[in-house]
Structure 1
Amino acid sequence: MGKHTHELDGHLTHRDGGYDNVGSTETNVADGFTMVAVGDLILSRPLTKGNTVGLQGILSKADATFGNMETLIFDIRSFKGSPQAEYGGAYHISVPDLGRDLKSMGFNLMSRANNHSLDWGVEGMRETSRLLDENGITHAGVGETLSQAGAARFLETAKGRVALVSFATTFMPMSRACDPAGEAPGRPGVNALRLTRNITLPPDALEGLRRVRNVLPGYASPERNPGRVVLLGEAFVAGDKPNFSYQADPSDEARVLRNVRRGKQFSDFCIVTNHGHEPDWSELVSEEPADFEQPFARKMIDAGADAYIAHGPHLLRGIEIYKGRPIFYGVGNFFFDDLRTPVGADMFDVYGKDPRLDTDAEVTVDEQAKGYPSIEGFVGALGKPIHYESVIAVSLFQENQLSEVLLYPIELGFQKRFANRGTPCVASGPQAKSILLRLQTLSQPFGTRIAIESGVGVIRLKRGSLL
């Protein structure tokens, strides 16, 4: 076994016969430590008896195997909760056996903070937590209070203790957790990172918007900032070209940074994950991360994160290696088996369907064709081939440094009939090459070089390299 850290009384770590400061941000795992990262898991049934066998070897051999849990798990026949009036664009639901199924695939880490965390209320959130706990899957991002939702959760492995901190920048407003205040109790929910959005418009377009605002009842007022217009809760500013810009809430950012520091202080390897749809300027959702995310991800690495994984856009984004640690700006979908049933009455209404005449599947097909009406940027965003192509990212660490990242291209069967698509298998031939070439292009702006070897993407780092 290589160099390794053991916690001493929760304060100091022992390494090579000496003692490190409690604030050490160094990676500290045994040689050969591997982390697998995949994206969103949207599935409604156990699938290990299907065609996932070829992938289980990749998932189960890693020390830490991570995915974003974007469904709820419970038995609808005995469920005491209900579908919520405010939901994440669709009611994601699966059966209790899914917990055991995910464990048998190799998953041992799940993020829970996302826009679907409370589709079925607090009851659905709690039952999903219970079933993941029962099957030995470490999960983070939701809790009975904000402090619980934001806290790092820990996985013990043979090569080191792994911490997971999970938050969401895209979440339903009523799902945000809070802490107690005086006599008021805390609120169960999601660990949220709130963003302020500014929309940049060319000066002539901004002036036109100002004229529109000024004729609306209650909006006309003396101009205080000629380069800014606020309308219907959105801030518009003057700029060279149309764009969306985001800023993280300072208090939320400070809280996340504290939880990352704490997570690393009590672990040997810390993973930080964000579920976000930003920037929401395209019907496909952007293949580039929002402007806030690169500096934010780097802050997480500086605070002690050994990997930053973003998910939520449902498509691939680029990869950056920062200070020798991987930043995945979008790992796409891993499961998109969205044969959900039952569907809440509100969703039937949204798509003009009648639950007495139309089926759950017909609602889902409409949703994938038209996108989530309640989620900005998802108009027609979920029914295109690009959302059915992704990668499994395997990061290998030697001597406490990232030595290589292997990128296995996968495809989720876009061409298959509705009941059979959404299950991953290793892509091959021209499709595999196309996926990896796209990821090459998306990663170039971050200075990341991806080679393609025998149908697998490879990022290699030289000893001591911070590429």
Structure 2
Amino acid sequence: MSAANKAAVRVALAGQSLIRHDPLPGAGAETLALAELLRGCDAAFTNFEGSIAGRFGGWPMKDKAAHGIAPALLDVLKNFGFTHLSLANNHAGDLGPNGILSTLEETHARGFTVAGTGPTLTAATQAGLGGGLAVVAMDAGPWDASVYASDGVEGGPGRPGVNRLKVSRRLGLPPEVLAQFATLAAQMGDSQRLKTRVAVGFQTPTPPGCQSFFGLTLEAAAAPEERWTIDEVDLARQEAAIAAAKATGALVIASLHTHHWPADWEKPAPWIPGLARHLLAAGADLFVGHGAPVLHGMDLIDGKPAFYGLGNFMFHSQRQSVRPHPSLWRSILAVPSFAGGRLIGLDIHALRLGGGDQARSDDRPGLWRGPEAAAFLRAWREETPPAGWNGGDGLLSLALGG
């Protein structure tokens, strides 16, 4: 049934899920209440951060933080109530193309609607569609090209991988600083090295008006700044997938994962709000960001919610160094409601995930209530533009009318 034909649709949107063990056995009231809430929604979405060690085999592609896990751990997401998964992220390729194929096989076997990876780029870009909700999921890196899907080059086979949205950075520098870099590049042989690599086809020329310095692209600016550019071909491919999904009558989630974080991880990268606007204009009903393991704010853009970063839902990181950071263990569950394909309301539930919390020694996500949860949501709300929020004690609600 399409979303437009239902009286009301509630969609749960969670942060990223990095799983190492099952948090449900022995769980307390907070976790069980969260699972009940997820199961009570028409659909529930998370970004699955991992690669399944399954039938296709594979090898760890990293020396650190490789998250290859057993297929049975996908049952954790199923038992919580999740129905839709983004697979486009930095851990999707942790076991190479083999892990991509095993993850697709095992998620499909459990009835998940998934998006963001595939045996080819065309397949990885296509929306996952189920239950009136479609997902177009993409990853903006920065990762090696081998992580990303390909339709094949020069008649060769396609490559299983992630749906790529290429984002590139230039450094804007004052002219006198640029001149210093140009002198250094010439003295150290980098300029000649670049000319040789371009001449033999190993590298593309530096864009007009720019100069290269040991792999960095530099251009003139009044003051030092980072300048970001989204690849037009990649963006058009995402927009076409969104439009095709919207044509089915489904509600559409545009999901972005990226590790291009600014110096302040508490804020989204400056190019993300503009991207959200593009994807919503292409037909998406929701924009959902993941990547930074902390919560970011949101906007309503032409009546559509854009969550720039939902932080974590489960964060079973192997890095003990992350545990003292409290912002990693606080997040939200967003539950927008739709009628006739239009947003009519939004609930925001405070979550705490254990981990670094001195009051909790486990890694179980759970609904968070009480004065501390109310203060947490109040601080988040103060950075969130829509007016008219109501509630407290761990729950905020926004009514938008029919």
Whether these two folds match at TM > 0.5 is yes
Q: CA deviation at 1:413?
A: 1.7
Tell me, in whole angstroms, the C-alpha distance in 2 between the residues paired with 1:437 and 1:99: 34
Q: Deviations over 1:36-86 (max 9, x none)?
A: 1111101112222243212112211111100001012336xx87321115x
Look up the SS of the partner of 2:4 in the other structure: coil
Asked whether the equivalents of residues 60 and 68 of structure 2 are also in contact (C-alpha less than 8 Å), the reply is no
Aligned partner of 1:281: which letter? P
Residue 262 of structure 2 is aligned to residue 281 of structure 1: yes
Look up the SS of the partner of 1:164 in the other structure: strand
Asked whether the equivalents of residues 142 and 259 of structure 2 are also in contact (C-alpha less than 8 Å), the reply is no
Q: CA deviation at 1:228?
A: 4.6
Q: CA deviation at 1:400?
A: 3.0
Tell me, in whole angstroms, the C-alpha distance in 1 between the residues paired with 2:113 and 2:208: 51
Q: CA deviation at 1:434?
A: 3.6
Residue 383 of structure 2 is aligned to residue 439 of structure 1: no
Look up the SS of the partner of 2:384 in the other structure: helix
Residue 359 of structure 2 is aligned to residue 384 of structure 1: no
One of 150, 162, 166 as aligned partner of 2:133: 162
One of 299, 307, 312 as aligned partner of 2:286: 307
Residue 84 of structure 2 is aligned to residue 145 of structure 1: no
Tell me, in whole angstroms, the C-alpha distance in 1 between the residues paired with 2:316 and 2:168: 33
One of 15, 18, 40 as aligned partner of 1:42: 18
Look up the SS of the partner of 2:240 in the other structure: helix
Q: CA deviation at 1:184?
A: 1.0
After superposing the two structures, state which structure 1 stretch, 233-242 or 248-257, moved more: 233-242
For the aligned residue pairs, the C-alpha RMSD in angstroms reads 2.8
Q: Which runs of 5 or more residues in structure 1 are unaligned? A: 6-26, 340-363, 370-381
Q: Indicate how the Cα distance of structure 1 residues 218 and 240 shifts in structure 2: closer, same or farther if over 3 A, else same.
A: closer
Look up the SS of the partner of 1:99 in the other structure: helix
Listed as ranges, the matches of 1:41-120 within 5 Å are 41-51=17-27, 52-74=31-53, 80-85=57-62, 90-120=65-95
Tell me, in whole angstroms, the C-alpha distance in 2 between the residues paired with 1:94 and 1:64: 25
Asked whether the equivalents of residues 245 and 290 of structure 1 are also in contact (C-alpha less than 8 Å), the reply is no
Residue 207 of structure 2 is aligned to residue 266 of structure 1: no
Residue 156 of structure 2 is aligned to residue 177 of structure 1: no
Q: CA deviation at 1:406?
A: 0.9
One of 301, 311, 332 as aligned partner of 1:332: 311
Aligned partner of 1:413: which letter? G
Asked whether the equivalents of residues 244 and 281 of structure 1 are also in contact (C-alpha less than 8 Å), the reply is no
Look up the SS of the partner of 1:237 in the other structure: strand
Tell me, in whole angstroms, the C-alpha distance in 1 between the residues paired with 2:57 and 2:273: 41
Look up the SS of the partner of 2:191 in the other structure: coil
One of 370, 388, 393 as aligned partner of 1:454: 393
After superposing the two structures, state which structure 1 stretch, 293-302 or 385-394, moved more: 293-302
Q: Which runs of 5 or more residues in structure 2 are unaligned? A: 196-205
Q: Indicate how the Cα distance of structure 1 residues 211 and 451 shifts in structure 2: closer, same or farther if over 3 A, else same.
A: farther
In the other structure, the counterpart of 2:298 is 319
Q: Indicate how the Cα distance of structure 1 residues 166 and 226 shifts in structure 2: closer, same or farther if over 3 A, else same.
A: closer
Look up the SS of the partner of 1:443 in the other structure: coil
Q: Indicate how the Cα distance of structure 1 residues 264 and 399 shifts in structure 2: closer, same or farther if over 3 A, else same.
A: closer
Q: CA deviation at 1:383?
A: 5.4
The percentage of counterpart residues that share the same residue type is 28
Residue 157 of structure 2 is aligned to residue 188 of structure 1: no
Q: CA deviation at 1:399?
A: 3.8
**Superposition TM-score, scaled by structure 1 size:** 0.75
Q: CA deviation at 1:107?
A: 0.2
Asked whether the equivalents of residues 374 and 392 of structure 2 are also in contact (C-alpha less than 8 Å), the reply is no
Aligned partner of 1:455: which letter? G
Aligned partner of 2:262: which letter? W
Tell me, in whole angstroms, the C-alpha distance in 2 between the residues paired with 1:128 and 1:92: 12
After superposing the two structures, state which structure 1 stretch, 205-214 or 230-239, moved more: 205-214
Tell me, in whole angstroms, the C-alpha distance in 2 between the residues paired with 1:336 and 1:164: 22
Aligned partner of 2:225: which letter? N
Q: Indicate how the Cα distance of structure 1 residues 80 and 93 shifts in structure 2: closer, same or farther if over 3 A, else same.
A: closer
Listed as ranges, the matches of 1:345-356 within 5 Å are none
Tell me, in whole angstroms, the C-alpha distance in 2 between the residues paired with 1:226 and 1:82: 41
Look up the SS of the partner of 2:229 in the other structure: strand
Tell me, in whole angstroms, the C-alpha distance in 2 between the residues paired with 1:431 and 1:292: 32
Aligned partner of 1:260: which letter? I
Q: CA deviation at 1:203?
A: 5.2
Tell me, in whole angstroms, the C-alpha distance in 2 between the residues paired with 1:46 and 1:74: 17
Asked whether the equivalents of residues 140 and 164 of structure 1 are also in contact (C-alpha less than 8 Å), the reply is yes
In the other structure, the counterpart of 2:201 is none
Aligned partner of 1:213: which letter? A
Q: CA deviation at 1:338?
A: 2.6
How many pairs align?
386
After superposing the two structures, state which structure 1 stretch, 48-57 or 33-42, moved more: 48-57
Q: CA deviation at 1:204?
A: 5.4
In the other structure, the counterpart of 1:413 is 354
